[in-house]
Amino acid sequence: MSSSFEILKRCASGRIGKLTTPHGVVETPTVMPVINPNIRLVSPSKMKDMGAEILITNSYIIYRSKKLADHALTRGLHSLLEYDGPIMTDSGSFQLSVYGEVEVTNEQIIDFQHKIGSDIAVPLDIPTPPDVSRDRAEEELEITTERLKNARNHLSGSTLLAGPIQGSTYRDLRTEAAKKVSEIGFDIYPIGAVVPLMESYRYADLVDVIVSSKMGLNPSSPVHLFGAGHPMMFSLAVAMGCDLLDSAAYALYAKDERYITPHGTFHLSGLKYLPCSCPVCQSYTPDEIRNSDDPVTLLAEHNLYTTFEEIRRVKQAVYDGNLLELVEMRCRSHPRLLEALERIYSYSDWLEIYDPISKSTFFYCGPESAKRPEVIRFSKRMERLNIDGSAIIRPAGSNIKNTSDFDHMLEFKPPFGAYPVELGEVYPFNAESPSVHGPESLGVALENTIRLIKLNPDAEFTFMKPDHMEHPILEKLSSIANIVNFSQ
């Protein structure tokens, strides 16, 4: 199967790509609004105007209804939804996870998706929930793998096929599942059964599941995160390499009278002001929405506008090379997202592999920034720096003179450490960082400086220390370098 996915731009593990489907090309990352074929809150053509490039619907709901199935089988899925762009169909696996059973076999539902003209079909995988026993996770994964193989052998024609990755919360099973699914060969790789993690705000565990799945996949494969619909976590998901997201949230939240923002969700009853300029929020006050004929549709429309606005913001951040700055900002919206930020940087070694060497200016946004992939990269590459003779390390931005007696001049900038002054204008050393350094950032920088000194045992280092700089690691530094105090 030839690849229908092309990557145009990268940042962290995120990318902008082009996915070719039978009904046209989709630019990723993108969010697929979930369409319930029985309920039309917002028309697909309006969704397209808002920014939707591809929809997702549930083929099992269509299959079960004689009326819908007749229409789809005779006039096609695109006629049923009144949409001529790409449509992905799910298989009923979600119903399987909620109700424990479905009245269809894998082969029947694959066949049905093909017959109604789906652009991307999904086999009947088993969404194994988080925290189940290892035996159950392994057994269900085996059944899922068999079904994926059958689907692959069964499906012909132009319909793309998705191969979901399961494995519950076992990281090694996720990686193994991803490798197996890749061997079978699919057009899209969804990461499955993560809805329960998101519903209970277990974003750090979600990071583990995404990264361990990605580790078993070819990095150039398109990845879908099943059920990721809140704009608050789009940047996080994209930074880890998810290309397709889907949102039922816009409608589910609207039914509960909940108003989505990129920072979190508000109940309409508590809103006095609307922090958004979409056409709905420009035309209505919160009271007017509440008293209108159809508050649910108005909220669904606002929720979709917000959804597409955030995905465009994420794409621009990939384009500009500052996606991690956006992730750090968004992860400050909720303490459980802050845990996810910590977790994502525990994988900085992995993020570093795909992150471009040069991007726009590195912005230090808080203590977590000290663990960014760029900092790890500098520490990996430090071994390439050969320093002999005498070397002085001065604070970046200082204009200390009288350094001509030294063979080498280095600059010290947290969170990186010491680097040759010639690199000061080069990414990431041209970073914007606060003039007062927090203990995390300074600690990483001092440790890196100690490492650099130890890597160059024949050189003699002098470290210019501003009077106000204090850190326990300075004492360790003083045993291998001359420390000279000065007042700035």
- Least distance to Zn ion, CB of residue 193, Å: 31
Q: Which of residues 81, 195, 370, 469 is near ligand GUN by CB under 6 A?
A: 195
* 302/408 with CB nearer Zn ion: 302
Instruction: State whether the Cα torsion 34-39-42-44 is positive or negative.
Output: positive
- Least distance to ligand GUN, CB of residue 248, Å: 9
- Nearest C-alpha neighbor of 58 from the set 81, 82, 41, 84: 81
Both tokens of 392, joined, read: 């002085």
Q: Which of residues 117, 130, 164, 295 is near ligand GUN by CB under 6 A?
A: 164
Annotated binding-site residue? 405: no
Burial string for 411-439 (b: 16+ CB within 10 Å, else e) reads: bbbbbbbbbebebeeebbbebebeeebbe
- Nearest C-alpha neighbor of 368 from the set 407, 339, 395, 396: 339
Give the residue closest to ligand GUN by C-beta: 192
130 contributes a contact to ligand GUN by CB under 6 A: no
Please, are residues 215 and 354 in contact by the beta-carbon 8 Å criterion? no
Instruction: State whether the Cα torsion 145-151-157-158 is positive or negative.
Output: negative
- Which distant-in-sequence residues (6+ apart) come within 8 Å of 402 by Cβ? none
Pick from ligand GUN, Zn ion, none: which does 302 bind, CB < 5 to 8 A by kind? Answer: Zn ion
Pick from ligand GUN, Zn ion, none: which does 193 bind, CB < 5 to 8 A by kind? Answer: ligand GUN
The residue from 49, 84, 90, 172 that is catalytic is 90
Of 122-130, 307-315, 335-343, 456-464, the window that binds ligand GUN (rule: CB under 6 A) is: 122-130
Strand 30-35 relative to strand 55-58: parallel, antiparallel, unpaired?
A: parallel
125 contributes a contact to ligand GUN by CB under 6 A: yes
Annotated binding-site residue? 331: no
Rounded distance, CA 171 to CA 306, Å?
A: 33
* 280/340 with CB nearer Zn ion: 280
227 contributes a contact to ligand GUN by CB under 6 A: yes
Q: Clarify whether 90 is annotated catalytic.
A: yes
Pick from ligand GUN, Zn ion, none: which does 276 bind, CB < 5 to 8 A by kind? Answer: Zn ion
Pick from ligand GUN, Zn ion, none: which does 227 bind, CB < 5 to 8 A by kind? Answer: ligand GUN
Both tokens of 327, joined, read: 């992730």
- Least distance to ligand GUN, CB of residue 421, Å: 52
Annotated binding-site residue? 365: no
Of 88-96, 131-139, 344-352, 387-395, the window that binds ligand GUN (rule: CB under 6 A) is: 88-96
Annotated binding-site residue? 388: no
Length of the chain, in residues: 488
Residues that bind Zn ion (CB under 5 A): 276, 278, 280-281, 302
226 contributes a contact to ligand GUN by CB under 6 A: yes
Of 30-38, 187-195, 380-388, 439-447, the window that binds ligand GUN (rule: CB under 6 A) is: 187-195
Instruction: State whether the Cα torsion 482-483-486-488 is positive or negative.
Output: positive
- Least distance to ligand GUN, CB of residue 175, Å: 17
Pick from ligand GUN, Zn ion, none: which does 122 bind, CB < 5 to 8 A by kind? Answer: ligand GUN
Pick from ligand GUN, Zn ion, none: which does 90 bind, CB < 5 to 8 A by kind? Answer: ligand GUN
Contacts with ligand GUN by CB under 6 A lie at 90-91, 93-94, 122, 125, 127, 164, 192-193, 195, 226-227
Binding-site residue numbers for substrate are 125, 193
User: Which residues does the annotation mark as catalytic?
Assistant: 90
